[in-house]
Amino acid sequence: MNQYQQRREALSKTIAPFGCFISISNDLIVKSADSHFPFEVNKNFFYLTGINQDNSVLLIVKGESTVKEMIFIKDIDPVMEKWVGTFLPFEEAKRISGCAQVLPLSTLQSTLNRLITRTPVHTLYLDHHKNEVNAQELPMDRFMNQHFSHVSLQTKLHHHVIHNMRAIKSEQEVQAIKAAINVTQHAFEHMLKVKSSLKNESEIQAHLEFMFKMHQAKPGFDTIVAAHKRATILHYVENNQDIEKDALILVDMGSQLNHYSSDITRTFPHGKTFTPIQRKAMNVVLDGMEVVFKLCKPGVAIRELNQALVEFYKVRLVEDGFIKSAEDVSKVYYHGVSHFLGLDIHDVGQYDDTILQPGHVITVEPGLYIEELNLGIRIEDNVLITEQGYENLSANIIKSVEAIEHFLQGQ
């Protein structure tokens, strides 16, 4: 039984008898005219099937004492294949997913008709998350309107169950994240080796993403390359300014490999050494990181990580003269210190009251942003929570003042 079969089996236990679970892979989205945005699979669907193709559907039908699985994928179209490439073969879909019944999408409607009229299914469990802030029509909305508009069945949103499953990473998933981290390390070190010839933020981004591509990976999110005071903007992605002399450069980067991403941030000088004020600020952030690391263990609420960092900053930043009073911390540190990491960069399963458990993979990313000093610092590692405490999966990517200066001066 492969990992996808195991996950579907676990999910089926959360479905009541005479229920049908539905997940869809996502549609292609039109970009303009006859062009489309690159396809992005529904991560829940991929987690349950391993299939990365648009217009695919997973059904899990539970009877009184039976469970039946079906995956529907696009019919093979030899003409379209000449234009867009090979469609996923049915036997390959069976091998990947471990599902014995992989059927043509053209048979989906007749299958659903039989399901509704010839079986006592009365509840649909939907892999569907309606965003209350942005309530545009989603693929599952279109699916339900197309296939179930003429019937009245009870529906239950079931995405949260899969999200809780995804929060605990298997050993295979941890290895996939490690592989993405290794690619990011190669890219970062390559960029540092050629950094002295790079004059613009865009050139740094180009070298990083070139190395991602060289390792069959891609950016897991929009790369941030922010120098000088631009590094105080958390999501600065223009990456198009010349780098000022003696500036600090903040790079928030992460390769995505086999659907799993790393999320690494490093801060380093434009030259080969940090200035005294930069060194002092870097060490504050690095020491704050150690405070957070000590709390990375089972049984700790994830909110406690940020609370501990803020309490540390209230003392240290005043002592070092970066702020006048403890109340000013929010002016120079204004984001959370951690989020879940996995198939999504800000991965699912994290809530305000989440208690850390073995198998959680989180980021630890303290920052310090002082615009009047042209200082924007963030240092981010990826951490696995273990039975004993934690493992820093990205420990080999240099980050200390001494390690970065040594690396830069050795080139």
DSSP string, 84-125: H-PPPPHHHHHHHH--S-EEEGGGHHHHHHHHHHHS---EEE
Average pLDDT over residues 253-276: 98
pLDDT given at position 34: 85
pLDDT given at position 158: 95
Report the b/e string of 23-61 with b at 16+ CB within 10 A. Answer: bbbbeeeeeeeeeeeeeebbbbbbbbbbbbbbbbbbbbb
* Class for the domain spanning 3-166: alpha beta
Q: Which amino acid is at 11?
A: L
pLDDT given at position 223: 98
Average pLDDT over residues 188-200: 97
Residues of the chain with CATH 3.40.350.10: 3-166
Joined together, the tokens standing for residue 141 give 């909305």
Comparing CA positions, the residue from 360, 21, 352 lying closest to residue 159 is: 21
**Assessment of whether the complete model's pTM goes beyond 0.75:** yes
pLDDT given at position 353: 87
pLDDT given at position 148: 81
Average pLDDT over residues 18-43: 93
In tens, the pLDDT along 207-227 reads 999 999 999 999 999 999 999
In tens, the pLDDT along 110-153 reads 999 998 888 899 999 999 876 555 556 778 888 888 888 777 88
- Of the given ranges (77-86, 124-133, 372-381), which has the lowest mean pLDDT? 124-133
232 or 353, higher pLDDT: 232
Average pLDDT over residues 172-193: 98
Q: Spell out the residues 6+ positions from residue 151 whose beta carbon is closer than 8 angstroms to its own.
A: 116
Answer whether residue 267 shows pLDDT above 60.
Answer: yes
Residues of the chain with CATH 3.90.230.10: 168-409
Comparing CA positions, the residue from 274, 245, 232 lying closest to residue 401 is: 274
Report the CATH number of the 168-409 domain. Answer: 3.90.230.10
Confidence of residue 352 (pLDDT cuts 50, 70, 90): confident
Joined together, the tokens standing for residue 285 give 């952030």
First-to-final CA distance of the chain: 49
pLDDT given at position 117: 85
Average pLDDT, the chain: 95
